[in-house]
């Protein structure tokens, strides 16, 4: 076969790159079709086949990220195969430099185009949500707090009648910056969803993130509007200014194998990366300065559930009451999956109590909301097989 015929059968380059001569150079390899296929396979291995179909839309944005990365001497001669060969001890794909670049490319595309990019909504970032007593309760109103605003949670694994295994927790909003927003000095279910999103992006390997990335990791789809951005920024301001105190020393005295955890600083240790628009400084991205403490507390105890972000993408509006129901259902179903002796029955009475459903009107509407969430979960990869309605609740089919 002649060289001319060989060239005719070769697929066209993704992007023009006259300088693409060195096949070991990252900046050159990004333009070769074979690498594009490697990239799609990598996404498919991460259960992102739908994202692979949408990847072509992101090529211009990926190109920018690759060029930025190739300026770093550390990566200037790295090959795509080395980027893709990032596996855990079980041989499964894990977060890589490549996936980090995809996250940033998605953020660029979401901010600069009017057309939604499905890749940002299909779950590059897995969601990590704490299931321990502390993470489950501190996001409610400060009910049960003493006069110093301190809460005490019993983590007694030995059962009733045994010594209390207390974890002390307190929060203070005195240092919250209200120069830009009027802040409600209490934590809400919306704050929890923001916190979970930020922690999940952090655990995916990114400590710098945009509002768009947080928005999508909260379970929203499409582009964030001005109001969405404002609400997320208000929540970030509140949580970065809030100071929390955690001390599980009393618990350690009861459970000797429990690791000591003491923390006294910001609920969300972060800083703003501001940019100039029309001569004014505006909020851009945020940079986490350290691991979010509530997430770290749950991680150390291995009381965390991990699931694809699509589980949070139900069609129900994300009101405070709905978010509480959504979080409670996910936590309870996670418990069912990990405990073979757990009942698969969910009583409406229990849901009312745990999700602060108090009025007759709320109680009348809640069952339909529960059905809506469960129907959505049944269509998700990390969800359930189905559910059955009963007179006083629902039965989950796993």
Q: What is the pLDDT of residues 50-74, one digit of tens each?
A: 455 556 666 677 777 767 766 766 6
**Average pLDDT for residues 356-383, to the nearest whole number?**
94
Instruction: Compute CA 158 distance to the chain's CA centroid, rounded to the nearest angstrom.
Output: 32
Return all residues near 159 (Cβ < 8 A) that are at least 6 apart. Answer: none
User: What is the CB neighbour count within 10 angstroms for residue 148?
Assistant: 8
pLDDT in tens, 76-86: 555 555 554 54
Pairing of strands 150-154, 262-266: unpaired
Q: What is the pLDDT of residue 125?
A: 62
Distance CA 103, CA 119 (A): 9
Distance CA 397, CA 213 (A): 32
pLDDT over 90 at 153, yes or no? no
Nearest by Cα to 153 from 292, 297, 257, 264: 297
Q: What is the pLDDT of residue 225?
A: 85
Sign of CA dihedral 216, 217, 218, 219: positive
Nearest by Cα to 327 from 363, 288, 377: 377
Q: What is the pLDDT of residue 152?
A: 67
**Average pLDDT for residues 150-155, to the nearest whole number?**
64
Q: What is the pLDDT of residue 255?
A: 85
Give 315's strand partners.
Answer: none
Rounded mean pLDDT of the chain?
A: 76
Q: Which range in 96-105, 107-116, 168-177 is most confidently predicted, on average pLDDT?
A: 168-177
Nearest by Cα to 174 from 149, 147, 152: 149
Q: How far is CA 374 from CA 39, 235, 279, 382, 393, in A?
A: 34, 28, 48, 12, 12
Nearest by Cα to 335 from 384, 378, 392: 384
Distance CA 137, CA 353 (A): 13
Q: How far is CA 126 from CA 172, 308, 336, in A?
A: 30, 5, 20
**Average pLDDT for residues 363-390, to the nearest whole number?**
95
Q: Is 63 exposed, middle or buried (0-12, 13-18, 19+ CB in 10 A)?
A: middle
Distance CA 184, CA 149 (A): 16
Q: What is the pLDDT of residue 256?
A: 83
**pTM for the structure as a whole:** 0.69
């Amino acid at each position: 076969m002649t060289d001319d015929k060989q060239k005719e059968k070769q697929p066209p380059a993704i992007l023009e790159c006259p300088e693409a001569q060195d096949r070991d150079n990252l900046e050159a390899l990004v333009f070769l079709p074979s690498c594009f296929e490697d990239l799609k396979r990598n996404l498919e291995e991460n259960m992102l086949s739908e994202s692979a179909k949408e990847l072509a839309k992101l090529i211009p944005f990926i190109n920018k990220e690759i060029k930025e990365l190739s300026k770093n001497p550390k990566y200037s001669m790295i090959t795509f195969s080395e980027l893709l060969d990032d596996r855990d001890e079980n041989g499964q794909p894990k977060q890589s430099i490549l996936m980090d670049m995809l996250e940033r490319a998605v953020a660029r595309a979401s901010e600069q185009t009017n057309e939604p990019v499905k890749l940002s909504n299909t779950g590059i970032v897995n969601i990590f949500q704490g299931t321990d007593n502390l993470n489950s309760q501190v996001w409610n109103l400060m009910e049960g707090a003493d006069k110093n605003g301190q809460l005490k949670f019993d983590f007694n694994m030995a059962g009733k009648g045994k010594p209390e295994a207390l974890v002390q927790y307190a929060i203070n909003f005195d240092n919250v910056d209200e120069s830009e927003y009027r802040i409600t000095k209490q934590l809400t279910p919306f704050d929890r969803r923001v916190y979970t999103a930020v922690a999940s992006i952090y655990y995916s390997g990114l400590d710098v993130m945009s509002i768009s990335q947080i928005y999508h990791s909260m379970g929203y789809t499409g582009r964030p509007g001005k109001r969405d951005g404002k609400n997320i920024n208000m929540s970030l301001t509140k949580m970065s200014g809030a100071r929390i105190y955690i001390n599980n020393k009393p618990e350690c005295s009861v459970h000797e194998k429990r690791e000591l955890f003491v923390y006294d600083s910001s609920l969300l240790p972060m800083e703003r990366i501001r940019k100039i628009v029309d001569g004014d400084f505006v909020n851009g991205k945020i940079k986490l300065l350290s691991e979010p403490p509530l997430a770290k507390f749950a991680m150390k105890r291995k009381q965390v559930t991990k699931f694809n972000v699509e589980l949070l993408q139900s069609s129900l509006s994300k009101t405070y009451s709905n978010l509480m129901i959504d979080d409670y259902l996910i936590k309870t179903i996670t418990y069912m999956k990990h405990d073979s002796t757990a009942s698969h029955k969910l009583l409406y009475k229990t849901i009312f109590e745990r999700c602060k459903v108090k009025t007759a009107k709320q109680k009348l509407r809640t069952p339909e909301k529960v059905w809506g969430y469960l129907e959505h979960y049944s269509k998700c990869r990390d969800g359930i097989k189905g559910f059955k309605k009963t007179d006083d609740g629902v039965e989950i089919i796993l």
